[in-house]
A = this chain, B = another copy of it.
Amino acid sequence: MTQLTRPSTQLTLAGAHTVLHAAMEKADAMGIPMCITIVDTAGHMVAYARMDGAKTMSELSSRAKAETAASSRAQTGSVTPGVDIKLGLVTGGKLTNLNAGVPIEVGGEVIGAVGVGSGTGEEDLEVALAGIAAFQAALTETAPA
């Protein structure tokens, strides 16, 4: 029989902060202040921090990266060049192919994403991945035996 509902998993604010704080720690260690946005699976913002000295406009890029990763359920940066621009245009700039939007996953389900901006695409991605790694480690610790 067709199901009217399906079970899913949501990211909590505590989960978002786990990603955020680890990402900030990494950015601090690299000496590069960043803008970091965490969104839920629907793309709505759960947590945000602009580290002292980060670029003001990176609020917008970090958010678009996070929203894109949540919507596509994939790390940003692999859309065919040219197509990415067209997708950016039809979404009013929400969809971006810039590096450093990374999904937050639990058991194969994407429950949110992190987006990082203010450095180079490589630096941004390193910070985003540090946030994801800390979340996965914390998940293991908090999982029932």
Contact = CB atoms under 8 A, between A and B. Distances in A.
A49 B58 CA distance: 18
Size bin of chain A's contact surface? 35 or more
A33 B89 CA distance: 23
B57 A94 contact: yes
Contact of A4 (B59, B95, B142): B142
A117 to B, nearest CB: 9
Nearest to A47: B49
A45 interface: yes
Interface of A: 1-18, 40-52, 55-61, 64-65, 67-68, 70-73, 81-98, 106, 111, 121, 135, 138-139, 142
